[in-house]
């Protein structure tokens, strides 16, 4: 049988295709201003299915009900660290089943407050049919993120009729809701506005489509009525208008969890939910502790972005923690718990050499093993996610032995085996281990320790093989490492690239070079201000256009 | 949003009590029916093996099980050890894609697809690439589509503590970049399999249920039509994605939209062979309850097969490269403290990790034996359900310390109703065969009789003739 093909295997991403040679701004030069002044092609983003997070946020905003039912949806597949890579966001039978059942659970809850849901449409005064049509238009517009078409309304009213016939008005609305939430117009972020110029390589998005990109970028949810109204009034016509709208959305509370979600995935702390630790070695790693760790990163990011200077360098260096529950104990600090359980900001003792999110207990926990620390994983995290130089997998045909915890040996001694194993191991491990070993003061759940196996720790290290010359060289301890990273142009370029991947739901391609370059430059000009980076995303060709694709 | 918390302790007991009264399900066959269906089951356990303690000793027909597989002794006459399967060149050879992804990832995505992983597109630093997702359909999904069995589930994917959602955690694919996630929560599985609306005495459907079914049908029709309409508006690649969605909708429609007059839309309910299992509670967040969670899922899997709810089933234990903990096992009177993957790379030939790895591998063999025993307990004429099944027990790599992909520790159980000659230890490691050929043989044995090649073109074609 032959079934090559399928989304993703086609085109340049196919197995065996010659891969690109680097990352713009990291180990590839930026394109010239002249190159970027032309009308360029744009890369294709595969059709984006809502992630479970986006689905959850969207129904929360649409229905204003308890949305815990969405936890029944399958977890999204993670590609290169992010759960929103459109290439693999497909609908399996399991998804299809849960879309039905979850929509039924949500619709049932929503119609319990029918008057609020339908904006008080008076079925006696106006008639049920008129109210149902009005609801199809208003709800359909928000659910599909554009004005409804006659065909949309026909479908929604047909679903309504399946509930109303032999039932009640409320049941009709309930079935209409189920249909809307099972509609591909809701489940996918469709961008189908036809091209006005059939010969152009790229197609500008409609303002409704821009509104949708903006809201999922910044809120992780669909646009609200106000944003849709802006699109309808033509207020998203210029880049200045879109930048201003982006800043307005970023100022609302909804932005915080959505932007936090990027950082959770970038650092892998999202994996706390599936992280286990040895109960005999780390009896303190309780569900409460895991929850407290999971809450820390978004609280910290929120504080820096919205109460602080907003800079990447602060995220990478500030010796502060946000503690709740048993987390204060992990850091060895005292904090008066807040009344509502939100994490409390505390300064960390200088001797711990804590450095922003890099040394957070949650980050140290996920970049590790259930039973021991992992200098390799910690070093790999810095290499892959901060330097954009992910090491390859171990070579074939070598004995691959992970050092076991022997009495009396520090990790540094145990990992010297990578060096002595010869070039096949040492070549890559020297890029990771000397970085990862800097974090050895933090055990597998992020607690500070002076010793490992009874021996004093040596946390000196070295960054090798980084294109940024300022990054290369020796350092001593996590704080010095963090300072190097915080001042690096490569790290800034890399973080902008990681954000681009998250923002666009795909890996960058060669046609993205100018968009990426403009984001990196804006990020640098703004001294690493994250909010400015996010706004810069909305100014790129990659954000404003889609490629012309023949149906 | 915390996948470990979906099932809480004790939820199972309470949840199941409410459905205990449902009637026996739809065994379409009476006992003694010689035309029992043939089934295909894959069991994946992670982190390879240790060859020296895995392969039997002796000759093809007269062999002794080795330490790790000792628990399979009761079913020895129904086993086929396949010493000599290698993953095909596209998964080995860099020029053909064989450097895409770690061996753990390749051995996972290539196991049932016999294809290389897709490229990860970026990540070329230091002259290498990491991987994207599987590049084609897996055998289970091919068979589900090709054979289209008249069962409630064309195929079923179950997992125990899989948790991970990366490439290394998916063995089943409907197509390139289309992984099929497993169901991990026994409560969810139970409800899905056996929680259908009960029929009222006399075979009538509860009117409220019939009404829900009719409404679901309306919504399926409307949104299926809309999906088809959109397929005409998008580009070719997105059309594949919408087509997969439409296929998935049609697959679930036939079980979510029942037929009035029947119990749960799955048949006439006259069978006596099968009944829903009684499940013990298991906290999915706790590694120490691996056995309990695994037992629940295995009981459900066996019942799903016995009740003819599905004939194609994949069953994953944890994920490839698993760091699962086994503190509930002891070696030298001490609980195993290390994680499975770390232990699997300790290549010393003695010492606590050597013993720990052997103990973990043997524990997995015990679980396989438990499941085989379940299947073997169902009589189907002069055979058992196990006889009418072909079970492939596989892991993603061979010798664990080597990340080897050239000698896969694959074992078959059952004969697919006599299609395979069993009770054999086949050692063709001197002239190894591609996994493509094994997949072709399995497909033919369970009914895709005309299949001659499967997976990447670099693999050998035709069946593995030694099996029959």
pLDDT confidence bin for A421, thresholds 50/70/90: low
Burial class for B373, CB neighbours closer than 10 Å (0-12, 13-18, 19+) = middle
Of B145, B144, B120, B115, the C-alpha closest to B132 is B120
When mean pLDDT is compared across A94-108, A330-344, A379-393, B388-402, the lowest value belongs to A379-393
pLDDT at A431: 87
Give the HSE-up count for residue B465: Cα atoms under 13 Å, Cβ half-sphere.
3
pLDDT confidence bin for A114, thresholds 50/70/90: very high
Q: Is A10 or B242 the better-scoring residue by pLDDT?
A: B242
| Mean pLDDT confidence for A99-122 | 97
Q: Is B264 or A233 the better-scoring residue by pLDDT?
A: A233
In a domain, residue B244? The reply is no
Range of the domain at B323: 39-193+281-467
pLDDT confidence bin for A509, thresholds 50/70/90: confident
Q: With an 8 Å Cβ cutoff, are A393 and B214 in contact?
A: no
Residue A6 has pLDDT above 60, yes or no: no
Q: How far is CA A48 from the centre of its chain?
A: 14
Q: Number of structural domains, chain B?
A: 1
Q: A with B: how many residue pairs have Cβ under 8 Å apart?
A: 318
In a domain, residue B134? The reply is yes
Which residues of chain A neighbour B118 with C-beta distances below 8 Å?
8-9, 13-15
> A366 by DSSP, 3-state: which?
helix
What distance separates the 2 farthest-apart alpha carbons in chain B? Answer: 70
Of A30, A25, A32, A46, the C-alpha closest to A506 is A46
Q: Is B348 or A100 the better-scoring residue by pLDDT?
A: A100
| Residue A15, token pair as written in the block | 């197995």
pLDDT confidence bin for A436, thresholds 50/70/90: very high
Q: With an 8 Å Cβ cutoff, are A389 and B125 in contact?
A: yes
pLDDT at A475: 96
Residue B271 has pLDDT above 50, yes or no: no
Instruction: Judge contact between A505 and A86, C-beta under 8 A.
Output: yes
| Mean pLDDT confidence for B83-112 | 91
Task: For B340, name the nearest residue in chain A, comparing CA atoms only.
Answer: A370
Task: For A174, name the nearest residue in chain B, comparing CA atoms only.
Answer: B215
Radius of gyration of chain A (CA): 25
| Mean pLDDT confidence for A161-169 | 98
- Chain A interface, mutation test: which of B219, B240, B328, B335, most A Cβ atoms within 10 Å? B219
Residue B403 has pLDDT above 70, yes or no: yes
The alpha carbon of residue B106 is apart from the nearest alpha carbon of chain A, in Å, by 11
Instruction: Judge contact between B100 and B123, C-beta under 8 A.
Output: no
Q: With an 8 Å Cβ cutoff, are A52 and B1 in contact?
A: yes
In a domain, residue B260? The reply is no
| Mean pLDDT confidence for B191-219 | 80
Residue B72 has pLDDT above 70, yes or no: yes
| Mean pLDDT confidence for A195-200 | 88
| Residue B166, token pair as written in the block | 């990366």
- How confident is the prediction for chain A on average, in pLDDT? 91
Residue A1 has pLDDT above 60, yes or no: no
When mean pLDDT is compared across A383-392, A401-410, B265-274, the lowest value belongs to B265-274
> Domain-by-domain residue ranges, chain A?
48-189, 258-486
pLDDT at B333: 94
| Mean pLDDT confidence for A405-421 | 69
Task: For B338, name the nearest residue in chain A, comparing CA atoms only.
Answer: A371
**What end-to-end distance do the CA atoms of chain A give, in Å?**
27
Dist. CA A247–CA A249, nearest whole Å = 5
Give the HSE-up count for residue B430: Cα atoms under 13 Å, Cβ half-sphere.
2
Dist. CA A288–CA A279, nearest whole Å = 14
pLDDT confidence bin for A403, thresholds 50/70/90: low
Q: Is B261 or A484 the better-scoring residue by pLDDT?
A: A484
pLDDT confidence bin for B16, thresholds 50/70/90: very low
Which residues of chain A neighbour B102 with C-beta distances below 8 Å?
393-394
Please name the member of B3, B180, B229 whose beta carbon is closest to the beta carbon of A92: B180
Residue A189, φ and ψ in degrees, nearest 5? -90, 80
The enclosing domain of B286 has a CATH number of 3.40.720.10
Classify residue B197 as left (phi > 0), alpha (psi -120 to 50) or beta: beta
What is the tens place of the pLDDT at every residue in A263-285? 999 999 999 999 999 999 999 99
Please name the member of A390, A397, A401 whose beta carbon is closest to the beta carbon of B345: A401
Which residues of chain B neighbour A17 with C-beta distances below 8 Å?
119
Which residue has tokens 């790129």?
A540
pLDDT confidence bin for B98, thresholds 50/70/90: confident
What is the total residue count of chain B? 468
Kind of pairing between the strands at B79-83 and B424-427: parallel
- Bridge partner list, A529: A311
- Is the pTM here over 0.80, yes or no? yes
Give the DSSP letter string of A286-342. Answer: -HHHHHHHHHHHHHHHHIIIIIS--BHHHHHH--EEEE-TTHHHHHT---PPPTT--
pLDDT at B198: 54
Which residues of chain B neighbour A72 with C-beta distances below 8 Å?
6, 188
Which residues of chain A neighbour B193 with C-beta distances below 8 Å?
none
Q: With an 8 Å Cβ cutoff, are B244 and A53 in contact?
A: no
Give the DSSP letter string of A388-453. Answer: S-PPPPPPTTS---PPP--TT--HHHHHHHHHHT-HHHHHHHHHHHHHHGGGTTB-TT--B-SEET
pLDDT at B21: 28
Which residues of chain B neighbour A46 with C-beta distances below 8 Å?
237-238, 241
B318: CB partners within 8 A, 6+ apart:
B45, B46, B160, B161, B162, B163, B324, B340
Task: For A27, name the nearest residue in chain B, comparing CA atoms only.
Answer: B125
Of B31, B91, B451, the C-alpha closest to B274 is B31
Q: With an 8 Å Cβ cutoff, are A400 and B402 in contact?
A: yes
| Mean pLDDT confidence for B88-104 | 87
| Mean pLDDT confidence for B244-270 | 70
In a domain, residue B64? The reply is yes
| Mean pLDDT confidence for A159-181 | 98
Q: Is B462 or B210 the better-scoring residue by pLDDT?
A: B462
Residue A424 has pLDDT above 90, yes or no: no
Return the percentage of chain A with pLDDT > 90, whole number: 80
Which residues of chain B neighbour A186 with C-beta distances below 8 Å?
none
| Mean pLDDT confidence for A49-59 | 98
Instruction: Judge contact between A457 and A440, C-beta under 8 A.
Output: yes
* H helix intervals, A145-286: 150-164, 169-182, 184-187, 207-218, 225-232, 239-250, 254-266
């Amino acid at each position: 049988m032959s079934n090559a093909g399928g989304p993703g295997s086609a085109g340049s991403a196919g197995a065996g295709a010659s891969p690109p040679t680097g990352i713009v701004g990291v180990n590839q030069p930026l394109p010239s201003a002249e190159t970027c002044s032309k009308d360029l092609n744009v890369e294709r983003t595969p059709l984006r299915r809502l992630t479970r997070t986006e689905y959850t946020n969207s129904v929360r905003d649409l229905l204003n009900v308890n949305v815990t039912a969405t936890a029944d949806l399958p977890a999204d597949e993670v590609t290169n660290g992010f759960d929103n890579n459109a290439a693999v966001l497909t609908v399996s039978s399991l998804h299809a089943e849960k879309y039905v059942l979850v929509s039924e659970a949500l619709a049932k809850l929503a119609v319990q407050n029918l008057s609020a849901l339908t904006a008080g449409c008076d079925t006696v005064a106006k008639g049920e049919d008129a109210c149902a049509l009005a609801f199809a238009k208003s709800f359909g517009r928000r659910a599909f993120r554009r004005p409804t078409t006659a065909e949309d309304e026909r479908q929604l009213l047909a679903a309504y009729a399946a509930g109303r016939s032999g039932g009640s008005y409320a049941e009709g609305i309930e079935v209409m809701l189920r249909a809307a939430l099972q509609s591909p117009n809701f489940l996918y972020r469709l961008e189908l506005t036809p091209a006005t110029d059939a010969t152009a390589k790229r197609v500008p998005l409609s303002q409704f489509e821009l509104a949708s990109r903006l809201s999922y970028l910044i809120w992780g949810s669909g646009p609200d009525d106000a944003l849709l109204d802006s699109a309808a009034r033509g207020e998203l016509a210029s880049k200045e208008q879109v930048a201003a709208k982006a800043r307005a959305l970023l100022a609302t509370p909804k932005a915080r969890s959505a932007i936090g979600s990027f950082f959770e995935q970038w650092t892998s702390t999202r994996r706390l939910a599936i992280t286990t630790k040895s109960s005999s070695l780390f009896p303190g790693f309780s569900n409460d502790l895991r929850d407290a760790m999971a809450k820390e990163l978004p609280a910290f990011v929120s504080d820096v972005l919205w109460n602080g200077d907003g800079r990447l360098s602060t995220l990478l260096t500030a010796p502060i923690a946000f503690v709740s529950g048993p987390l204060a104990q992990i850091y060895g600090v005292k904090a008066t718990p807040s009344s509502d359980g939100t994490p409390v900001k505390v300064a960390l003792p200088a001797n711990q050499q804590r450095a922003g999110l890099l040394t957070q207990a949650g980050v140290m926990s996920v970049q590790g093993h259930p039973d021991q620390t992992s200098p390799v994983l910690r070093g790999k995290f810095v290499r892959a996610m901060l330097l954009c130089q992910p090491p390859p997998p171990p070579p074939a045909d070598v004995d691959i032995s992970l050092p076991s915890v022997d009495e009396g040996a520090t990790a540094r001694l145990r990992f010297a085996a990578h060096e002595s194993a010869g070039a096949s191991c040492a070549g890559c491990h020297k890029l990771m281990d000397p970085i990862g070993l800097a974090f050895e003061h933090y055990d597998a759940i992020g607690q500070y320790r002076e010793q490992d196996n009874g021996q004093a720790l040596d946390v000196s290290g070295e960054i090798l093989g980084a294109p940024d010359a300022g990054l290369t060289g020796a350092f001593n301890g996590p704080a010095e490492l963090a300072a190097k990273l915080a001042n690096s142009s490569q790290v800034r370029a890399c973080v902008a690239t990681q954000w681009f991947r998250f923002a666009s739901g795909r890996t960058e391609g060669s046609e993205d070079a100018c968009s990426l370059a403009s984001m990196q430059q804006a990020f640098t000009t703004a001294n690493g201000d994250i909010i400015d980076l996010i706004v810069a995303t909305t100014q790129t060709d990659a954000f404003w256009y889609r490629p012309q694709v023949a149906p | 949003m915390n996948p470990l918390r979906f099932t809480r302790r004790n939820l199972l007991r309470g949840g199941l009590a409410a459905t205990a009264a449902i009637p026996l399900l739809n065994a379409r066959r009476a006992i003694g029916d010689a035309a029992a269906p043939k089934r295909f089951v894959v069991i994946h356990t992670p982190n390879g093996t240790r060859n020296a303690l895995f392969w039997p000793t002796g000759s093809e027909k007269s062999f002794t099980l080795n330490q790790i597989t000792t628990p399979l002794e009761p079913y020895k006459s129904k086993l086929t050890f396949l010493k000599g399967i290698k993953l095909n060149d596209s998964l080995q050879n860099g020029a053909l894609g064989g450097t895409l992804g770690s061996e753990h990832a390749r051995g996972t995505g290539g196991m049932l697809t016999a294809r290389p992983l897709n490229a990860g597109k970026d990540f070329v630093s230091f002259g290498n690439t990491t991987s994207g997702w599987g590049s084609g359909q897996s055998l289970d999904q091919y068979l589900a589509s090709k054979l289209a069995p008249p069962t409630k589930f064309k195929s079923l994917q179950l997992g125990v503590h899989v948790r991970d959602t990366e490439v290394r955690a998916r063995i089943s694919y409907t197509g390139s970049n289309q992984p099929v996630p497993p169901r991990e929560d026994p409560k969810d599985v139970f409800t899905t399999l056996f929680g259908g609306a009960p029929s009222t005495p006399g075979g009538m459907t509860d009117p409220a249920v019939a009404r829900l079914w009719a409404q679901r049908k309306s919504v399926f029709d409307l949104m299926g039509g809309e999906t088809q309409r959109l397929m005409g508006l998008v580009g070719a690649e997105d059309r594949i994605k919408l087509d997969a969605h439409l296929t998935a909708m049609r697959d679930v429609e036939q079980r979510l939209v029942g037929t009035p007059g029947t119990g749960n839309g799955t048949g006439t309910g006259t069978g006596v062979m099968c009944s829903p299992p009684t499940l013990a509670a298991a906290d999915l967040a706790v590694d120490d309850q691996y056995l309990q969670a695994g037992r629940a899922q295995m009981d459900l899997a066996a019942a799903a097969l016995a009740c003819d709810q599905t004939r194609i089933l994949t069953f994953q234990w944890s994920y490839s490269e698993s760091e699962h903990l086994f503190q509930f096992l002891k070696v030298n009177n001490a609980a195993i403290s290390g994680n499975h993957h770390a232990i699997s790379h300790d290549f010393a030939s003695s010492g606590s990790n050597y013993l720990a790895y052997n103990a973990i591998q043997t524990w997995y063999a015990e679980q396989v034996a438990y499941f085989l025993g379940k299947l073997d307990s169902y009589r189907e004429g002069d055979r058992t359900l196990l006889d009418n099944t072909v079970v492939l027990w596989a892991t993603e790599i061979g010798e664990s310390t080597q990340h080897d992909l050239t000698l896969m520790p694959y074992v078959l159980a059952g004969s697919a109703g006599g299609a395979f000659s069993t009770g054999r230890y086949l050692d063709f490691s001197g002239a190894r065969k591609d996994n493509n050929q094994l997949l072709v043989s399995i497909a033919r044995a369970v009914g895709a009789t005309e299949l001659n090649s499967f997976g990447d073109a670099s693999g050998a074609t035709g069946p593995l003739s030694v099996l029959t």
